[in-house]
Amino acid sequence: MVETLSIAVIGAPGVGKTSIIRQFIYNDFSETYTPTQTRYVYRPSVILNGVMYDLKVLDVPPISSFPSSPSQTWPSRDLWSLQSKHANAYILVYDICCVESFEYVKMIRQQIVDNRVGSSSEVPILVVGSKRDLQRHRFTQRRAVSVLVKKTWKCGYVECSAKYNWHVLLLFKELLGIAVARGLRPNHTSIRLQGALQRNRCNVM
């Protein structure tokens, strides 16, 4: 039986969420920016240690406002319910050149943690610094963000460039590794990602 892993990809407008997903699945990048207006679901598959997993990758449009506490009503309630209750893992994307996009990720991560209080397992979260090809314009050093994310937030951290397909595959490998380690498929000591299936096409690494 093929297991399904639902991954919500969340971030501020223009950080490159869709570009990362499409580079991973289709090996494709577009210079044209098209804002994500509605939730879109991609369904690639991957192989970990000889076991196939169907991925449900949710490209989530930005949520414009947030409640001050988890007890308040969320804007776009159905959308957030889908993310918080049914996503098995999260990729939180920010632009390394935009400090506001990092603050957005910081707020989203806290809300995910608050809404997962009392759950049986800790949800896997991977923070992704996008647009690494614009390294010279970053708002702070990579190490400062990496230490905060890994040591304080206890999340995974990867930087990537969708434009040059740099570390895009790595970030999905990293997330799946975290998911496996936290109970999706226990007893796996290593991970081998053989690639995404684009419908009936398989890219084998």
Give the Cβ contact number of residue 31 at 10 Å: 6
Query: For every one of its 205 residues, what pLDDT tens digit does the chain have, with 9 covering 90 and above?
Result: 667 889 999 999 999 999 999 999 999 999 988 888 888 899 998 887 777 888 999 998 876 544 444 444 444 544 444 444 568 899 999 999 999 999 999 999 998 888 765 554 578 999 999 999 999 999 999 999 999 999 999 999 999 999 999 999 999 989 988 887 776 543 333 344 544 444 434 433 3
Closest CA to 3 of 41, 50, 59: 50
Task: Find the helix or strand (DSSP H, E) in which 158 lies.
Answer: strand 156-159
Closest CA to 88 of 61, 122, 118, 114: 122
Domains of the chain: 3-195 (3.40.50.300)
The pair of three-digit structure tokens given for residue 16, joined into one six-digit string = 């490159």
C-beta separation of 57 from 79 below 8 A? no
The amino acid at residue 67 is P
Alpha helices in the chain (DSSP H): 17-26, 77-81, 99-115, 142-147, 168-179
The pair of three-digit structure tokens given for residue 159, joined into one six-digit string = 């930087």
C-beta separation of 34 from 17 below 8 A? no
Dist CA 197 CA 42 (whole Å): 11
